[in-house]
Structure 1
Amino acid sequence: MSHDTQASTLAPPPSASTVSNANPWLAVLSVALSAIVFCTTEFLPIGLLRYISAGMRVSEGTAGLMVTAPGLLAAFAAPLVAIGVGRMDRRSVLLGLSALLIFSNLLSMLANSFPLLIAARILFGIGLGGFWAVGAGIGSRLVAAASAGRATSIIFAGVSIGMLVGGSGGALIGELAGAGAAFGGALALSILSFVAQAIWLPKLPVERAMPARELLGIVATSAGRSGLLAMLLVLCGQFAAYTYVTPFLAQHTGFDARAISGILFGYTLIGLVGNFLVGGLGGRNEKTALAATIALFVVSVSLLPVLGDTPVWTLALMAAWGLAYGAMPLALQMWVTRAAPHVPEGGMALYVGNFQASIALGSFVGGLVVDGFGVSQAVIAGGLLGLIALVVLYAFAGKVLEPGTR
Structure 2
Amino acid sequence: MQSTSNAQAVPVSQPSALTTPAPTRAAWLAVLSVAVGSFALVTTEFLPVGLLPSIAAELKVTEGLAGMMVTIPGIVAAFAAILVTIGVGKTDRRYVIWGLTATLIISNLMVALSDSFLVILVGRALLGIGVGGFWAIGGALGNRLVPPAYATRATSIIFAGISLGTVAGVPAGALIGELVGWRVAFHAAGAVAVLVLLTQMWLLPRLPTTQSLTFAQLPALLRVKKARLGMLATLLVFIGQFAAYTYVTPFLSQVVGLNATTISALLLTYGAAGFVGNLIGGWTVARSVRMSMIVTGLVMGLSAAALPLIGTSLLGATALIVIWGLAFGMMPISVQTWMFRAAPDAMESGGAVFVATAQISLASGALVGGVAVDHLGVSSAMLVGGVFAVAMAAVIAKWGEDDGKPSGKLHAVH
TM-score by length of 1: 0.91
Among 222, 228, 233, the residue aligned to 1:225: 228
Aligned-pair CA distance for 1:22: 7.1
Q: Distance in 1 between matches of 2:169 and 2:277?
A: 19
Matched, 1:404 2:401: no
The residue type equivalent to 2:151 in the other structure is: A
CA distance in structure 2 between the partners assigned to 1:6 and 1:117 by the alignment = 40
**Aligned positions of 1:6-405 closer than 5 A:** 6=3, 23-163=26-166, 165-397=168-400, 399=401, 401=402, 403-404=404-405
1:335 Cα deviation after fit? 1.2
Whole-angstrom CA distance in 2 between matches of 1:205 and 1:392: 41
Q: Is the CA contact (8 Å cut-off) linking 2:71 and 2:366 kept in structure 1?
A: yes
Which SS does the other structure have where 2:258 is aligned?
coil
Given that residues 68 and 361 in structure 1 are in contact (C-alpha distance below 8 angstroms), is that contact kept between their aligned partners in structure 2? yes
DSSP 3-state at the match of 1:58: coil
Residue of structure 1 equivalent to 2:410: none
**How far apart are residue 6 of structure 1 and its match?**
4.7
Aligned-pair CA distance for 1:20: 8.4
Q: Equivalent residue of 2:152, what SS?
A: helix
Letter in 2 for 1:115: L
Provide the rounded CA distance (Å) in 1 between the counterparts of 2:218 and 2:274.
30
Question: Does the residue aligned with 1:255 lie in a helix, a strand or coil?
Answer: coil
Report the residue type matching 2:57 in the other structure: A
Q: Is the 8 A contact 1:160 1:268 kept in 2?
A: no
Once the 2 structures are TM-superposed, how far is the Cα of residue 34 of structure 1 from its aligned partner? 1.0
The offset of 1:142, in angstroms, is 1.7
The 2-side partners of 1:340 and 1:164 are apart by 26
In structure 1, distance between residues paired with 2:111 and 2:346: 37
How many Å separate the matches in 2 of 1:86 and 1:281? Answer: 37
2:150 counterpart letter in structure 1? S
Range with bigger deviation, 77-86 or 173-182: 173-182
Structure 1 gap ranges (5+): 14-18
Please say if residues 27 and 197 of structure 1, whose CA atoms lie closer than 8 Å, have aligned partners that are also in contact.
yes
Q: What letter matches 1:114 in structure 2? A: F
Superposed displacement of residue 308, structure 1 = 1.2
1:60-105 Cα distance to aligned partner (Å, 9 max, x none): 0000000000000000100111111111100010111111211111
Contact 2:94 2:206 in 1 (8 A): yes
Any idea what SS the aligned residue of 1:23 has? helix
Shift of 1:26: 2.1
1:111 shift after superposition: 1.1
CA distance in 1, matches of 2:335, 2:86: 23
Asked if the contact 1:164/1:264 (under 8 Å) is kept, the reply is no
Change (3 A) 1:25 1:338: closer
Structure 2 portions without partners, runs of 5+: 5-10, 16-21, 408-414
- Residue aligning to 1:16: none
Aligned amino acid, residue 404 of structure 1: K
Q: Does the CA-based 8 Å contact 1:97-1:130 persist in structure 2?
A: yes
The question of whether the paired residues in 2 share the 8 Å contact of 1:299 and 1:383 is answered with yes
Percentage of identical aligned residues: 45
Q: 1:405 Cα shift?
A: 7.7
Q: Is the 8 A contact 1:78 1:130 kept in 2?
A: yes
1:221 offset after TM fit, Å? 2.4
The 3 A distance-change label for structure 1 pair 394 and 52 is same
- Shift in alpha-carbon separation, 1:163–1:333, aligned structure 2, 3 A: closer
Contact 1:216 1:346 in 2 (8 A): no
In structure 2, distance between residues paired with 1:207 and 1:102:
30
Q: Deviations over 1:146-184 (max 9, x none)?
A: 332332222222234434542112112222322211110
Tell me the distance in 2 between the aligned counterparts of 1:346 and 1:37: 24
| Deviation per residue, 1:312-362 (Å, 9 max, x gap) | 121111111111111011111111122223433222111111111111000
The superposition leaves residues 351-405 of structure 1 with CA deviations (integer Å, 9 ceiling, x where unpaired) of 11111111100000000000001110011000111222223223444x4x35438
Contact kept in structure 1, 2:140 and 2:347, CA below 8 Å = no
1:22–1:303: structure 2 CA closer, same or farther, 3 Å change rule?
closer
CA distance in 2, matches of 1:257, 1:22: 43
CA contact (8 A) 2:167 2:275 kept: no
Deviation at 1:218, TM superposition (A): 2.2
Q: Is the 8 A contact 2:256 2:314 kept in 1?
A: yes
Contact kept in structure 2, 1:26 and 1:200, CA below 8 Å: yes
Q: TM-score normalised to the size of structure 2?
A: 0.90
Return 67-76 or 295-304, whichever deviates more: 295-304
**Structure 2 CA distance, aligned partners of 1:300 and 1:228?**
23
CA distance in 2, matches of 1:72, 1:245: 21
Q: Give the AA of the match of 1:279.
A: G
